[in-house]
Amino acid sequence: MELNETTLTDCRPTRVEIERISGDGQPATLIGCDLEGMDLSQLDMAGWRFERCNLARASFNGAHLEEATFKGCRSAGSRFLSADLLEGTIDGGDFSNASFLGATLNGASILRCKMTGVDLTDAKAMSLVLEEVLLVLAILPKFSFRKMTLKQVDFSEADMRSCDFRDAVLDECSLRDANLSDCRFENADLRGCDLGGVKLTDARRFKGAVISRQQAAELLGQLGLRVM
């Protein structure tokens, strides 16, 4: 095992080793490390970098991860309950069925990542950046996307009750078969969004949103009408 003050490479460290590095007060880099199932809750790992690590079912509950980076990590089933990821970055990798319940994601970026079934209930996410993210079957009720630009984000079949999409732009996104009960869409631009599964009787949920002629034609087609 290669171990020094700031770098761990291709190893399975113990929590004691992680605690010692955390206590040094300097950001560390972990490359190709195996932290599967490890309890890393409450540790100060601000500015740390996790690259191609196995974090499956690991616990980061209550951890300080401000400006931390997760690059290409396998993190299915991991837990970040009430963790602070302020201005952090998740780039690539698999975070399916992870829980960010009550986590702070203000100013964070989530890019090119699989997050199927992830739980974002009560997460704080002002100025969050989402690009090329798979959020199929995700749980994110009352989540605010207000004034955000979402690029290639797939919310298919997600639980999005009472979400706020006011003034948001959804570019190459999907809301197919998502639960959109009590969502707000005033001034949202949905022209680049897949609204498959939406029935004309549910169209009132999109009151105030901008949709394309094709989307309008598909809705009116349910009444046997054609838009010319």
- Residues in a beta bridge with 159: 139, 179
| pLDDT given at position 143 | 95
Give the span between the Cα atoms of 23 and 7, in whole angstroms.
14
Length of the chain, in residues: 228
Residue type for position 44: D
Q: Which residues pair with 39 in a beta bridge?
A: 59
Q: Cα(160)–Cα(155) distance, rounded to whole angstroms?
A: 9
Q: What is the mean pLDDT of residues 96-112?
A: 97
Higher pLDDT, 26 or 79: 79
Q: What is the rounded distance in angstroms from the CA atom of residue 123 to the CA atom of residue 146?
A: 14
Residue 193: helix, strand or coil by DSSP? Answer: strand
Give the per-residue SS3 of 194-210: ECCCCCHHHHHHHCCCE
pLDDT over 50 at 197, yes or no: yes
Mean pLDDT to the nearest integer, 200-214? 76
The string of pLDDT tens digits covering residues 51-85 is 999 999 999 999 999 999 999 999 999 999 999 99
Instruction: Tell me the C-alpha distance between 42 and 194, whole Å.
Output: 40
DSSP string, 98-131: -B-TT-B-TT-EEEEEE-TT-B-TT-B-TT-EEE
Dig out the tokens for 215 from the structure: 């989307």
- Compute the CA torsion angle 154, 159, 164, 167 (nearest 10 deg): 20
Residues 91-116: what's their mean pLDDT?
97
- What average pLDDT does the chain have? 91
Report how far residue 158's alpha carbon sits from residue 48's, in angstroms, rounded to the nearest whole number: 31
H/E stretch holding 71: strand 69-71
Q: Which of 1-5, 76-80, 206-210, 216-220 has the lowest mean pLDDT?
A: 1-5
pLDDT confidence of residue 207: 81
Taking a C-beta distance cutoff of 8 angstroms, is the pair 113, 95 a contact? yes
Per-residue pLDDT band for 2 (boundaries 50, 70, 90) equals: very low
Which residue type, as a one-letter code, is found at position 96? S
Percent of the chain with pLDDT over 70: 91
Q: Quote the Cα angle for 48-82-159, to 5°.
A: 110
Closest CA to 130 of 111, 158, 156: 111
The whole-model pTM stands at 0.89
